[in-house]
Amino acid sequence: MARNLYRIIAVALTGLMVLSGCAAIPRSSPVQQIESQPIDEELDNYSFTALGPTEGASPRSIVEGFMEAGISLAQDYAVAREFMAPELKNEWKGTTRTLVYDASSIIGAESENRYTVQLEITAEVDQYGIRTEYPPHSTRAVDIELTVVDGQWRISNTPDGIMLETSYFERIFAPRSLYFYDSSYNYLVPDIRWFSSRSGAATSIVEALLAGPAPHLENAVLSAFSPASSLMRSAVPVKDGTATVDLNAETFQDSSDLAKQLMQRQLSASLDELTSVERVQMQSEESDVIIGPLATDYVEPQINPSTPDTLVGLEDDRLVYVKGRSIIPVGGVPDLSQYSPRAPAMAPVGNRFAFLSGDGTRLMGVDEHGQVTQIASGTDLLRPSMDVAGWTWTADNSESNPIIVAPADPNVSGETRPITVSWLSGESVDSLRISRDGSRALLVVHDEERTRVLVAGIVRDTDGVPRGLSEHPMEIFPSVPANTALWNSDQSIIVAQLGRNESVRAELVTFSGGSEQFSPLLGMVNLAVGVGERRPVYAGTLGELHTRVGNTWRVLEDFAADVSYPG
């Protein structure tokens, strides 16, 4: 089967690779360029094609041909339908799901008209481009039945969707960033989807946007579009740089100027990666929607906002700022030596701090006036993370609900409280960091059998109070062991397994599949990563502070312990 596939697409593939350079990020090899780039829709002119069934083909050959035909997207998988009996041909839906696999085998049953395709699956993509990753060596069985039609074997029963080998998936599909609002409408939060690289990408993006966020962001982000919103027809034409989005009248029913402006901004951000789109025109049943002047309460939402470039750390039990090569004591903070402070954190907005007592039983807060108070207690508290809404997060694994949140002002937001997360039952939290936009939690958790790196949306009430995490977190599979994870951008993280006696290799992982391993550092016990350009990565060993230059670690002359960026 593979030999036929190479023969079929060799010419097309060669042309595509010459034009596009490195068009996909391999799962297994590190890359240097990891941020997403605008997608050139001119590549849509170069498509993969497959051959239909040959006369007198055996049942196994029909199954092989059907698998190969998944590379040919033209006319709604017309080639794949040629392998089907008439009834199935009309009912089968190729876009329902895409199974991505590294290896496959076709197993025949006792009856010559039944086969099982056994896949070593790496991912699954649904009709809205939501990609679910699977651990290495996961398997999936796809059953296929055949019948004879006019003397030729044809498929009479198979699940909806196609199967694609990983390397072809990465050339045929591309990641796109949909955007939804955080609970304050101050930030646009990315939701990475995968769609085929063909004409109609704008349509796929808008349809997926209207369908709502991926499961790991459900109830954590907001859309400017109501559930009643839909395209008048399944098409978003792009002409002379303008994408025309024609929506039903219900979309704009009783909508204010602010609501329309939020819709326009959400569409523009989500279509921005398409080089063919320069502007967006919303229509309501073929009539242009007038946006009007910006509403007085409109706030331009931020995308991937940077953290301040000053870190906080500890020197001789004092809170200090670390900026470049300078270490400066934090003013206005009293003597902290009675607490033997460790694991300090700094708020991304304002001038507040948090730290743990040396024995890990107390979480202390430092307010804007330098007043130190205990804001949480536990048995072995986790390093705190402070979000943009003023909440400080930690975890205590001795509790059945380990995650704890503390408000900046208890008089306004109430007392410190636990967060109930059902899927954390039986798991311990190793690391917890809140995204710069305040909408997502990044966790490393483990039980007796496995360690997982997870991203879950933060569910807040109308006042911004955290009430829980989304029920279906997104799992990330780094290639290095991990007991800590930090945000590198709104679409990438850095993970590592810190340890004072080990050679630690950190890895940068993007949500679109890219990765880059760092040079190992012996005895790395701390890692500091900030969101934004020119935010150096810092690593602490016992008695030394290192900064990453290129892909090497350089020791700084001055030392501060437990450094961290705001957040």
- Domain parsing of the chain, residue ranges: 2-173, 175-302, 304-564
CA gap 265, 415 in Å, rounded:
36
Three-class DSSP category at 88: helix
The pLDDT of residue 46 is 43
Angle formed at CA 131 by CA 478 and CA 387, multiple of 5 degrees: 65
Can you give the pLDDT at residue 47?
A: 60
* 3-class secondary structure per residue, 202-240: HHHHHHHHHHCCCHHHCCCCECCCCCCCCECCCCCCEEC
DSSP bridge pairs for 193: 176
CB atoms under 10 Å from CB of 552, counted, come to 11
Among 216, 209, 264, 282, which Cα is nearest to 435's? 216
pTM equals 0.89
Which contiguous run of DSSP H or E holds residue 443?
strand 440-446
What span, in angstroms and rounded, lies between the C-alpha atoms of 27 and 554?
29
For 304-564, give the CATH class.
mainly beta
Q: Which residues contact 14 (CB under 8 A, 6 or more apart)?
A: none
CA neighbor of 542 nearest in space, from 564, 565, 522: 522
Residue 337: how many other CB atoms lie within 10 Å? 10
| Residues 30, 38: Cα–Cα separation, whole Å | 21
Q: What is the pLDDT of residue 3?
A: 37
CB 1 within 8 A of CB 68: yes
- CA 540-542-547 angle, to 5 degrees, is 25
Phi-psi region of 239 (alpha: psi -120 to 50; beta: other; left: phi over 0): beta
Q: Point out which residues pair with 496 in neighbouring strands.
A: 484
Q: Which fold has domain 2-173?
A: Nuclear Transport Factor 2; Chain: A, (3.10.450)
Q: Which H or E run contains 3?
A: helix 2-20
Q: How far apart are CA 521 and CA 99, in angstroms?
A: 38
pLDDT recorded at residue 33: 33
Q: For residue 48, which of 75, 10, 20 has the smallest C-alpha distance? A: 10
d(CA 276, CA 385): 40
Task: Determine the straight-line distance between the first and last CA of the chain, rounded to whole angstroms.
Answer: 51
Domains 2-173 and 304-564 share a fold: no
Query: Residue-wise pLDDT tens for the chain (567 aa)?
Result: 433 433 333 333 333 333 333 323 233 333 333 333 444 444 443 467 899 999 999 999 999 999 999 999 989 999 999 999 999 999 999 999 999 999 999 999 778 899 999 999 999 999 999 999 999 999 999 999 999 999 999 999 999 999 999 999 999 999 999 999 999 999 999 999 999 877 689 999 999 999 999 999 999 999 999 999 999 999 999 999 999 999 999 999 999 999 999 999 999 999 999 999 999 999 999 999 999 899 999 999 999 999 999 999 999 999 999 987 789 999 999 999 999 999 999 999 989 999 999 999 999 999 999 999 999 999 999 999 999 999 999 999 999 999 999 999 888 888 999 999 999 999 999 999 999 999 999 999 999 999 999 999 999 998 899 999 999 999 999 999 999 999 999 999 999 999 999 999 999 999 998 999 999 999 999 999 999 888 999 999 999 999 999 999 999 999 999 999 999
What is d(CA 49, CA 492) in angstroms, rounded to the nearest whole number?
34
- Burial classification of residue 206, based on how many CB atoms lie within 10 Å of its CB (0-12 exposed, 13-18 middle, 19 or more buried): buried
* Phi and psi angles of residue 117, each rounded to the nearest 5 degrees, phi first: -90, 115
Strand ranges, E, within 471-557: 474-476, 484-489, 492-496, 503-504, 507-510, 515-517, 521-522, 526-528, 538-541, 544-549, 552-555
Q: CA of 176: how far to CAs of 311, 386, 507, in Å? A: 32, 29, 23
Inter-residue contact 178 to 221 (CB < 8 Å) = no
Q: Got the DSSP string for 272-296?
A: TTBTT-SEEEEEETTEEPP--SPPT
Task: Report the pLDDT value the prediction gives residue 323, as an integer from 0 to 100.
Answer: 87
Which contacts of 42-46 are long-range, i.e. CB under 8 A and separated by 24 or more positions? 42/275, 43/16, 43/19, 43/197, 44/197, 44/198, 44/199, 44/201, 46/12, 46/15, 46/16, 46/19
Nearest to 121 by CA among 105, 104, 109: 104
User: What span, in angstroms and rounded, lies between the C-alpha atoms of 319 and 336?
Assistant: 8
CA distance 264 to 115: 49
Q: Please tell me the number of Cα atoms within 13 Å of 285 on its side-chain side.
A: 6
